[in-house]
Amino acid sequence: MLKPMATKTVTTQARRNAVARARIDFWFDTALLLGFTLAYSYGFTGIAIHEWLGIGLGIALLFHLTLHWDWVVRTSVKLIDPHGRDKLIWLVNLLLLFAMTFCIASGILISRVALPFIGLYPLGGPFWSRLHVLTAEITLGLVPVHVALRWRWIMGVGSRLVTRPRRTAGRSG
Amino acid sequence: MKFLRRFAVVTLIVAVVTGIGLAWNHFDPSSLIGGIPGANHVSLRDPAARKNGIEVLRPGNGHDRRILALPPDASPPRHLARNVIVVHLRPMDLGLNSMFERVDWPFLTHTVVIEAGVMAIVVFLARVRRRARRAWRTRRLASAEPAGGVRSALWRTRV
């Protein structure tokens, strides 16, 4: 059995880990949102940045999904329960997985700059062009829903991240 | 190790979804591209366009201006030159200049406005739903509350 002091240390460490993880999630997700916003604004970025950013987003999304894999498994198991929560978020996330995967895959297949630069010449074609445009529009609708359904978490972590440095600065000063 | 295992699973799922897209393209592409008029058809059907290495980057709907990507120093054929925006492709020209031109900012603001609008609607609906649920729960507890006594006080503290 752990002594009270040891228990307290473990709890503090776990708490610190949770705070660090929340901070990573917050900044990583913010970067993803900004990246997607820029990548969608094709006329603003130009084709080369659009394509490289899209490829980067694809890799980042794999990490995003991996970091939240616990949630995916937990929520998928709870789907059977009629009182289970997060069903709407689960559905939105599933649609987003399909839309973003199709969007990025079709974007790679119609690449004009990024892939030719590394010596690959994708086949392209009207199907992939159309799929890219369609899924990009669906993704633009789903991404803000995905973000907004977690607005309480975002506000909580965001306000903590903003207020904590101020407090520290106040103490040191 | 745990992270790598999960990463592999996630990659596999993404590969399966991509496979579904490939299968869709293989078996039933017309369900998606059946009726699009405009830009894509130009690049596919027009031999002059193909011969000159012209690619249409953004499919139009027959009314929008088309964007044509050309090899450096090439110009579009005369019959395709009307109502198009020509982009000369260079492999690693990131086009950073476009970000600093005021004329290109509306593309970004347009995206931001759509995202902010959808977020605002979802947050508003979530708050309304939350408030309604809270009110319903309060009413239910109030109706189940026995009259007077210690138990009543306990019910009140729960609410």
Q: What is the mean pLDDT of residues B11-22?
A: 94
User: Are B98 and B73 a contacting pair, CB within 8 Å?
Assistant: no
pLDDT band at B148 (very low <50, low <70, confident <90, very high): low
Q: Which of B20, B40, B92 comes nearest A129 by C-beta?
A: B40
Residue B23 structural domain = 1-33
- Residue A7 confidence (pLDDT): 63
Round to whole Å and give the CA distance between B95 and A44: 9
What CA–CA distance (Å, rounded) separates A144 from B155?
39
Q: Does A153 contact chain B (CB < 8 Å)?
A: no
Number of compact structural domains in chain B: 3
- What's the pTM value of the predicted model, to 2 decimals? 0.72
CB B88 within 8 A of CB B70: yes
A44 within some domain: yes
Tell whether B88 and B137 lie within a shared domain.
no
Q: Does residue B17 share a domain with residue B61?
A: no
Angle separating helix axes B149-158 and B105-144, nearest 10 degrees: 170
Please check whether residues B103 and B157 belong to one and the same domain. yes
% of chain B at pLDDT higher than 90 = 27
Whether residues B7 and B21 fall in one domain:
yes
Please give the share of chain B, as a percent, with pLDDT higher than 70: 48
Which chain A residues contact residue B114 at CB under 8 A?
140-141, 144
Residue A13: inside a domain: no
Interface of A with B in 131-150 (CB under 8 A): 131, 133-134, 140-141, 143-145, 147-149
pLDDT at B62: 41
Cβ distance B98 to A106 less than 8 Å, yes or no, reads no
Determine how β-strand B84-88 pairs with β-strand B66-70. parallel
- Structural domain total, chain A: 1
B60 dihedral zone (left: phi>0; alpha: psi -120 to 50; beta) = beta
**A residues 2..61 contacting B (CB < 8 A):** 37-38, 40-49, 52, 61
Shared domain check, B41 and B84: yes
Q: Which helix (H) or strand (E) holds B55?
A: strand B55-58
> How far is residue A135's CA from residue A141's CA, in Å, rounded to a whole number?
10
Q: How confident is the model over A69-93, as pLDDT tens digits?
A: 999 998 888 887 776 668 889 999 9
Could you tell me the CA-to-CA distances from A35 to A52, A56, B30, B112 in Å, in that order?
11, 9, 32, 12
Residue B2's pLDDT is 87
pLDDT (tens digit, 9 = 90+) per residue, B43-102?
A: 434 455 555 555 544 444 444 456 666 666 667 666 666 666 666 655 555 555 566 677
More confident of the two residues A21 and B102: A21
Closest chain B C-alpha to A41 CA, distance in angstroms:
5
Containing structural domain, residue A148: 23-172
Q: Considering only CA atoms, which of B127, B128, B49, B40 is closest in space to residue B81?
A: B49
Neighbours of B35 (CB within 10 A): 6
Better-predicted residue by pLDDT, B124 or B45:
B124
Task: Name chain B contacts of A130, Cβ cutoff 8 Å.
Answer: 32-33, 36, 40, 59
Residue A102 inside a domain? The answer is: yes
pLDDT tens by residue, A35-74: 999 999 988 888 888 999 999 999 999 999 999 999 999 8
Give the gap in angstroms from C-alpha A173 to the nearest C-alpha of chain B.
Answer: 37
